[in-house]
Structure 1
Amino acid sequence: MSKPSYPENWHDIDIGLYSRSVKIFNQVRKLLSVKMKLHTADQVEKGDIFLFNHFSRFETFIPQFLIYEKTGAYCCAIASGEFFREDNVLSRYLSNVGCFPHNHPRLFQLLAAQILRGRKVIIFPEGGMVKDHRVMDVKGHYSVYSRLTGERRKHHTGAAVLAQGLEIFKEMIRTAYQEKNHAQLVRWKEQLELDSLDQLLTSALKPTLIIPSNITFYPIRTSENLLLTSVELFSGGLSMRQTEELLVEGNIIFRNTDMDIRMGMPVNPQQDWSWSTKALQDLVAAELTSLDDIFTMPLAPKNWKHKLLGSLLKSSSNMTRNRYMEEIYANVTINLSHLASTLIMHCIENSLLLIERQRFYNALYIGVKKLQTNTAIHLHRSLLNPNYYRNLNIGTNQSFEHFINIAKLSDLIVEEGEYYRFLPKLLEEHDFDLIRLENLIAVYNNEAEPIAAVSKTMIEALAECDRLDPEELAGWRFEDEQMDLKWELHKYTKPVYEDINDHETATEDPSPFLLQPVEENGIGVLLIHGLLASPAEMKGYGVHLMHQGYTVMGVRLKGHGSSPYALRDQSWEDWYTSVVNGFEILKLHCRKIVVTGFSTGGALALKLASENRPDILGVSVAAVPLKFINPTFMLIPFLHGTNKFVDWVSSYEGVKPFLENVSEHPRVNYRNVPVRCLYELRLLIQHMDEFLPKIEIPVLIVHGDHDPVVSVKSASEIMQKIKAPDRQLKILKSNRHGIIMENIDGMWKINDDFIIHCASETKAAEFSRIE
C-alpha cells in the first residue's frame, strides 16, 4: 500500500471557522437530549495532551469544543487518515478545525509544535471503538481487541512518545537559554511561528502533562431509533457493523442520555524516566537541533547514544502508557446498570442462576450505600440522589426498569414468579459488532471491571442481604432523607429561583430528625409537620418525647424546607411518600408506633392510619384542614387550572403562580405559597372522604376553638367520618393555628396521655390473648 501524500506541514486552525463550529455545537447540544457534564478541577487548564476512551463516533469532536469553552484554548485532534484520502468538504473542514491524519509522516512533530504554541491535543489511545468495553485480559492486564488482526493488543503509546519528545525539546530550549545561543532560539521561534522568545521560554518551563479522561454514557440504549429508520429508507441494506452503530449511537443522540466526561490525575512522562535516561538525554540533546531530529531518532539513530536513548524511551513510554490507561479506566462514572451487571455476572459465573428478586434489589441498595462512602470511585449522580435509587430496597425502581426490560428482551434474564433466572446467553461469546445489542450486561460489566472495589462491594452486598442489621438499614434510609434535602437545595437555590427565594424568611434547620433516647421504652412516635413548614415545626415536641424514652422520627414532606419552587413541583402523593419513608425508617427501630400530624401533616397521618398497618398503635392529629376560615380558598382549583392553561399557551409561568403567606412562624414557614400546592391540598382533602372510614385504631383529634386558618368545624366533621370506636375530640382554647409548635393549652400533655393510652390498650390486648 502506498504511503499517503500529505504536505510536509499541515493546515493551521481557521479561527473563524473554529469559533463558528463551537457556536453551532452549542446550538445543536441544546436541541439534543444529551446532557454533557465535564468533571474537572484544574486539569483542563494545566493539561497539554488529553486522552479519552473511544466508545462511539459522536464524542470525537465534543472534547475539543468543551475544552475550548472551559479554557479558551484551541484543541487539535488526531483523526483517521481515511477522512483525508480525497479533497472534499469534510476533509477540508477537519483540516481547518485542527484535525490531523493519524498516518501523517510528521504527525508528532506537527502536534508538538501546536502544544508549544499554547494549544492542546486530543488523542484516543485505544485507536478505535471498544464496543465490548473489555479492556482487561484474564491476567488483569490492559489490552483491547483489534479489528484489523482479530486479536487483542496493547494500547497505543503515541501520547507518551509525543510527551517525551516535547520534554527533550524543552530541555534543548532551556540549555540554549543558559548558553545564550540566541541564534538557535530565534530559529526555533520562527519555525514555531511564536510571537516572542519569551513565549518560547514560557513553553519550555512548563512540564508536559497528559490528562487521562473518561467518557461514560448512561444509559446505553439499543432500541430502534429515527436515525436507523431514515438510513434504511435510502439504502439497499446495512452491514452488521453499520446497523449496530446506528442503533446504539443514534439513541445516544436522539434520546435522553447523560455523557459524563471525567478528567483524572495528570501524568508527567518524566516520572517514568530512570536516572540513566535523564543523563543520556542531556548528552544527546546537544546533538539535536529540531523536533524532527527528536522524533526520527528512535527510527534512524545516528550513533550508539541515539540507539540506547531510543530503547530507554521506548521502555519508559510503555510505563507511561500503562499509567495513563489505568487512570482512564479508573475514571469511569459508575451507575446502577454497572452495579447490577457486576452482580449478575458474579452470580452466573458462580452457578447462582436463580435469585429472589427482592434479594437482588436489596443487594443493589446495600451496594449503593457502601459505595457512597468510597471517595475513590466516581458515582453517577443517580447513585447519589435518593430519588433515583431509594426504592430499590422495596423492590421497585423506575429508573432501573429500562435495564431489566432490555435484559429480558435480549433473552439474558427471565422472571419466574418472585425470582430472576439468569440465562446461559450471558456467558456466550458474541461478535464484536453485535455485543452491545446482544449482551448489554456483559458490556456494562466489562466497563466496571477495572474498578476492583465495585466487584468486591457487590459480592459483599449479596452476602450481607440475609444478615443485615435493621438499625444499619434504618441509618442508611435516614441518610437518604437527609441527602434528599441537600439535592433539593442544590436544585432550587440557583439564581433562576432568586425572585422568590430572596424574599423567604425561614432560618430554622429544615432537616428531618431522628431522636433516640438513652433508655428506650420500645415505642416510636412519627411526627409530621404541616404545609409550608418543615420538621423544625415539630422538633421541640420531638425533644420532649425523647426525654420520656420515645424514639422520635420527624419527617420532611417533599418540597418543604428548601424553596417554594420545590414545593410547586410536588403532588400530595409525593408528600405522602415522605411520610411512608419516615414510617419505614422508624419501624426498623421500634415495633410499635404512634403517628402525630399537624394540619396537612395530620391529614397525611390519617391516610397512613387507614391502611391497616399493625405497627401503628394510634394516630393523633391537630388542626387538620377540612374547612377554611378564608372562603376564597375554594377558588384555588380554578386558579391552578388557569395557570396551567397560560403556561401551555405562552412562555410565561402563569397568571399567579405564588401567593403571599403571612405566617405565625416566619422562621419556619415559606413566605410564598405555590398555588399548585394549595390545589394538591384540596385534592388530598377530597380524598379524605375515601380513607377516613377505614381507620380502626385509636384516634385523637385536637383543634383550637379560634384557629385563624382552619375552621374548628373541621374537627367535628372528621370525628363523624371516622368509624373507629376509640376516638377522642379535644377543643383547646386558642386563637393560633400552630398549637403543637407552641404547646398551646397543654397540647403536649394531651398528646402524651394519648400515646400512653394507646400503649396501655395494646398491652391489655396482648395480655388478654395470653390469658
Structure 2
Amino acid sequence: MPNTDYPDDWYAIDTTIYHRSVKMISAVTKLLSVKIKIHGDSQVQEGDIFLFNHFARFETFIPQFLIFEQTGAYSCAVASSEFFKDDSLLASYLQKVGALPHDHPRLFSLLAAHILRGHKVIIFPEGGMVKDHRVLDHQGQYNIYSRISGERRKQHTGAAVLAQGLEIFKAAIRKTYNAKNHAQLARWQEHLKLDSVDQLLINALKPTRIIPANITFYPIQTSKNWLSTGVELFTNNLSFRQTEELLVEGNILLKNTDMDIRMGQPIDPCITSTWWSRQLLQATTADFDSLDAVFAINASPKNCQQHLLGLYLKSNAINIRNQYMQAIYTNVTVNLSHLAATLIMHCIENGRNTISRSDFLTALYIAVKHLQHNTHINLHRSLLNPLDYNDLITGTSTRFQHFIHAAQDSELLIEHADSYQFLPKLLQEQDFDSIRLENLIAVYDNEVEPITAVRDTIISALAQCHTFDKKQLAAWYFEDECRDLIWEYHAYRKSQYNDINSQETAEADPSPFLLTPESSNSVGVLLIHGLLASPAELKDYGNHLVQQGYTVMGVRLKGHGSSPYALRQQTFEDWYASVLRGFDILSAHCPQIFVSGFSTGGALALKLAAEKRPQIIGVCASAVPVKFVNPAFMLVPLLHSANTLIDWLSSYEGIKPFIENGSEHPLINYRHMPVKSLYELRRLIEAMNACLADIDIPVLIVQADNDPVVAFKSATDIMDKLTTVQKQLVVINTHRHGILMDNIGGTWDAIRTFMCSCQPVTTCLTASADYATAHVSDKTTVTSLKQPL
C-alpha cells in the first residue's frame, strides 16, 4: 500500500552532495578490485528510463555514477521504503541524491517530472536481489522468487507504466501547444521548474526510451575475504544472510572481478501501435491537465474512454515488461563459467555423472568457437581474446582451473586424473540465501538459461567432440592466432605508447599465414621468423615452398607485428608457445613436418627439434644468435636487471627500456628493441644449448661468414654441441644478416636440397643422393660433419 506520510513533492536533488558522491564513488572504485566496463555509449545518451537486474547490493548505486560520468545528467532511483522509515542520516542522504521510496503515492508523477527536467531514472524491475539468477520457471516463463511472499512472481511493470504515462503527457503538451493554450503551458513549465516553455516543448518532442541493461559479474567467488573476517572480529551475531552477502559481494569488490554493464537496444512504449489506440489517445488527451491525472487513469478514470484507455495501457504494459525483461536477461555477458556450468548441468540432468577431461575441454573449446560467430550473443572478452582461452583445450587455462577448484570446494564435483565426476548435490534444492555459497554452478547455469543458443551450442559441441574434423580444429587454432594479433595491436595502440609507436616504420602485413598447395606432397614446413620481425619476413620464402607442393605455416611470435611495447611484455616461453601452436595447426594438415627458423626463430626451431616429435623429419636453423658481433649485447642481462630494479623501486620506466635498432628491412622489423627481449633471447639461447645434444634428427645450420649481427662462431658452437649423425653447416659468403628472407647466395636451394634428403625419394625427386660435399652456387658451400664431435 502507498505510504501517505511522505511529503507530497518529495525532495529536489542536492547537486552539491550529488557531485561529492560521484567523486567519492569514483575514488572508491579505483581502490577496489572490481573492474567496471559499460557497453553501449549511444544508449546511455539516448535513454530516459534504465532498467537493471539485481544480484549484489552495491551495484544499485553504480549505474547512477556511470550515467552521470558519461552524460552529465543526474539520475534518480527507486529504492526500498525500508530506507526511509526513520529520519536517519542515511534516509536524508538518499533523499538528496535522488532516491525515491517505492511506495510513495505519487511515485510515477515524481519520476516523470524528473525525466521532463532532463534527468534519468534508474529502476530495478525485479524488485529485489535475485541471488539464484533463476528467472525462468519450468514452463519457460519469466518470473522470480519473492522473499516477501516466499513464492515466485512476475517482474514489475512499473517502468512500462512510467514510460506510457510520459508519452501521454507529452502528447497532451503537444496538443496544448497546437491549441495555443499558452497559459497551461506556462503552468506546466512553472510546476516542473523548467527555464522556459521552449524547454518544455523540446522535452515533449523527444520520444521516451526504455533502456534494458544487464549487469554480469565474473568470476563469482565465495571464499573468505578480509571484509568478512574483519566484521567477524567485531560481532558474533551475524545472520547467515549477512555472512553470505559479505562473502560473495565482498569478493566481487575485492578479488579482481569484472562487472560488465551491457545496455540493450532502446524500447519504445508504443502506446499508439494500432489505429484504435491512436484514436483513443486523441480523444482523451485533453482530459489530462497534470501528471497526476495521467497516472490516475486506472485507479479513477473519469469516463468510459479513459477506462478503455486504462485497460489498453495495462495490457500494453505487460507486453512492454515482457520485452524489457527478455532484453535484460538475454544481454548477459557470457563467460567460460557459464559454458562449463551449462555443460555440467546438461550432463547430470540427463543421467551422465562423469565426463572425460578430454571431452569436457574439447566441447568447451568447440562451443567457444561457434559462439564467437553468433552475433546475437555477448561474450566476455576472455572468450574473444585467444590469450585467455587458447590454453583451454590443453587443460592449463587459469580461468577453467579456478572454476573447477571452486566447484570441488563446494563438493559439486570430483576431479580425477582424466575425468570429472559430478555429485548429487548439483541437483539438490538450495535455500535462496545459500545457493551462491552451496551451488555456484546452478547460479551460472540459471543466468544463461534464457539464452537458448548457449545451451544448444554446448549440447551440439558435446556431441561433436569425438568426431570433429581435426582440420576444422586447426582452422580455429589459426583463426585464434589471427585474433591474437588484432587484440595485441589494439591493446598497444593507445596514446600512452605513442612515444615509440610513432617512430616505427614497419608496414608489411604481420599476420601469420597458412599456405596450401594445389597438389600436396604431404610434407609441411613450419617457418619461424626472427626477433623484431614478423611472418612477413618469410612470406616470400613460404610462397616459394608452396609452389613446390609443401604446406607452409608461418607463425607469429607473440609480441611481434604490433608494438615494441607488446614485445617488451613477452618471455621466450611465450614465443615458444607460439611455435607450438603453429606446429599443432600444421600437424592437422601434414603427417611430416620440416621446421625452418631464422635467427631467434632458428633457436626456437632447434628447441622444438629436441622434443623428439615423430612428425618432425628435419630442421634448419639460419643465423642463430649464440654470439653477437657487437660485444655490447653481452651487457644486456646487467641492463635488464637495472631496469627491473628501477621498475620495482618506483613507478618510472627503467633507465633504458628500448634500444634503437638499425634494420636491413625497416618495413618489417621494429625500429626499437626492448632490452627485456634481448634478455629473453639470452635465456632462449641457454635453453637451446642445453638441449642440442637431445636432437636426433637431421639438422642444417646456415650462417653468413660476415654476418654484421651474429658472429660466425655461433654456427660452429652449435655444430660442436649437436650429436645427431646427420648435421650440416652451410656457409653463405655475404655481409648481410637476412640471408633467408633475401635468398642470398642461393640459401633457398641449399635448404631445399637438405629438405629433400630428409624425405622419401618419392616426395622429393630432385633431391641429391649424395650431399656430403656440394656447391649450391658460386657463393655457397655446404660442409657435412656426419660424425659426432
TM-score norm. by structure 1 comes to 0.98
Secondary structure in structure 2 of the residue aligned to 1:702: strand
Where does the alignment leave 5 or more consecutive residues of structure 2 unmatched?
765-789
1:307 maps to which residue?
307
Q: CA deviation at 1:129?
A: 0.4
Kindly indicate whether residue 230 of structure 2 is the aligned counterpart of residue 220 of structure 1: no
Q: Distance in 2 between matches of 1:273 and 1:241?
A: 46
2:185 maps to which residue?
185
Q: Per-residue CA shift, 1:291-346, capped at 9, x if unaligned?
A: 11111221122332222221211111001000000111111000000111111111
Q: Distance in 2 between matches of 1:711 and 1:760?
A: 35
My pick for the range that moved more, 279-288 or 628-637, is 279-288
1:665 maps to which residue?
665
Contact conserved, 2:555 with 2:579, CA < 8 A, in 1?
A: yes
Q: How does 1:88-99 map to 2 (within 5 A)?
A: 88-99=88-99
Number of residue pairs matched by the alignment: 764
1:121 maps to which residue?
121
Q: CA deviation at 1:273?
A: 4.6
Contact conserved, 1:607 with 1:691, CA < 8 A, in 2?
A: yes
Q: Distance in 2 between matches of 1:557 and 1:761?
A: 33
Secondary structure in structure 2 of the residue aligned to 1:42: helix
Contact conserved, 1:273 with 1:316, CA < 8 A, in 2?
A: no
Secondary structure in structure 2 of the residue aligned to 1:391: coil
Contact conserved, 2:532 with 2:673, CA < 8 A, in 1?
A: yes
Q: CA deviation at 1:30?
A: 1.2
Secondary structure in structure 2 of the residue aligned to 1:400: helix
Kindly indicate whether residue 709 of structure 2 is the aligned counterpart of residue 706 of structure 1: no
Kindly indicate whether residue 162 of structure 2 is the aligned counterpart of residue 145 of structure 1: no
Q: Distance in 2 between matches of 1:543 and 1:690?
A: 34
Q: Distance in 1 between matches of 2:355 and 2:271?
A: 48
Contact conserved, 1:228 with 1:247, CA < 8 A, in 2?
A: yes
1:48 maps to which residue?
48
Q: Distance in 2 between matches of 1:550 and 1:279?
A: 74
Q: How does 1:155-234 map to 2 (within 5 A)?
A: 155-234=155-234
2:773 maps to which residue?
none
Contact conserved, 2:521 with 2:763, CA < 8 A, in 1?
A: no
2:418 maps to which residue?
418
Contact conserved, 1:660 with 1:672, CA < 8 A, in 2?
A: yes
Contact conserved, 1:216 with 1:332, CA < 8 A, in 2?
A: yes
Q: CA deviation at 1:276?
A: 3.0
Q: Distance in 2 between matches of 1:728 and 1:345?
A: 58
Contact conserved, 1:482 with 1:511, CA < 8 A, in 2?
A: yes
Secondary structure in structure 2 of the residue aligned to 1:58: helix
Secondary structure in structure 1 of the residue aligned to 2:390: helix
1:767 maps to which residue?
none
Kindly indicate whether residue 581 of structure 2 is the aligned counterpart of residue 581 of structure 1: yes
My pick for the range that moved more, 369-378 or 81-90, is 81-90
1:739 maps to which residue?
739
Q: Distance in 2 between matches of 1:289 and 1:663?
A: 78
Q: Distance in 2 between matches of 1:528 and 1:240?
A: 58
**Structure 1 residues 630 and 762, CA, compared in 2 at 3 Å: closer, same or farther?**
farther
Q: CA deviation at 1:433?
A: 0.2
Q: Distance in 2 between matches of 1:610 and 1:440?
A: 44
Q: CA deviation at 1:288?
A: 2.1
1:14 maps to which residue?
14
Q: CA deviation at 1:26?
A: 1.4
2:767 maps to which residue?
none
Contact conserved, 2:336 with 2:399, CA < 8 A, in 1?
A: no
Kindly indicate whether residue 457 of structure 2 is the aligned counterpart of residue 457 of structure 1: yes
Q: CA deviation at 1:761?
A: 7.5
Where does the alignment leave 5 or more consecutive residues of structure 1 unmatched?
765-771
Q: CA deviation at 1:646?
A: 1.1
Q: Per-residue CA shift, 1:623-660, capped at 9, x if unaligned?
A: 00111101111111011101111111222111100011
Q: Per-residue CA shift, 1:458-490, capped at 9, x if unaligned?
A: 000001101111111110000000000001001
Kindly indicate whether residue 498 of structure 2 is the aligned counterpart of residue 498 of structure 1: yes
Q: How does 1:721-740 map to 2 (within 5 A)?
A: 721-740=721-740
Q: CA deviation at 1:614?
A: 0.2
Q: How does 1:370-769 map to 2 (within 5 A)?
A: 370-760=370-760
Q: Distance in 2 between matches of 1:456 and 1:689?
A: 50
Partner letter of residue 734 of structure 1? T
Partner letter of residue 495 of structure 2? P
Secondary structure in structure 2 of the residue aligned to 1:270: coil
Q: Distance in 2 between matches of 1:375 and 1:533?
A: 34
Q: Distance in 1 between matches of 2:497 and 2:165?
A: 51
Q: CA deviation at 1:284?
A: 2.0
Contact conserved, 2:2 with 2:105, CA < 8 A, in 1?
A: no
Q: Distance in 1 between matches of 2:299 and 2:233?
A: 50
Q: Distance in 1 between matches of 2:182 and 2:521?
A: 87
**Structure 1 residues 222 and 233, CA, compared in 2 at 3 Å: closer, same or farther?**
same
Q: Per-residue CA shift, 1:160-211, capped at 9, x if unaligned?
A: 0001111111111011011111111111111111111111111111111100
Q: Per-residue CA shift, 1:740-761, capped at 9, x if unaligned?
A: 0010110000111111111128
Q: CA deviation at 1:2?
A: 9.2
Secondary structure in structure 2 of the residue aligned to 1:51: strand
Q: Per-residue CA shift, 1:513-546, capped at 9, x if unaligned?
A: 0000111110000000001110011111000000
Contact conserved, 1:525 with 1:551, CA < 8 A, in 2?
A: yes
Q: Per-residue CA shift, 1:353-390, capped at 9, x if unaligned?
A: 11100110000000000000000100000000001110
2:785 maps to which residue?
none
Secondary structure in structure 2 of the residue aligned to 1:374: coil
My pick for the range that moved more, 161-170 or 278-287, is 278-287
Partner letter of residue 318 of structure 2? N
2:775 maps to which residue?
none
Q: How does 1:25-64 map to 2 (within 5 A)?
A: 25-64=25-64
TM-score norm. by structure 2 comes to 0.96
Q: How does 1:323-342 map to 2 (within 5 A)?
A: 323-342=323-342
1:235 maps to which residue?
235
Partner letter of residue 581 of structure 1? R
Q: Distance in 2 between matches of 1:314 and 1:742?
A: 76
Q: Per-residue CA shift, 1:192-234, capped at 9, x if unaligned?
A: 1111111111111111110000000000111111111111111
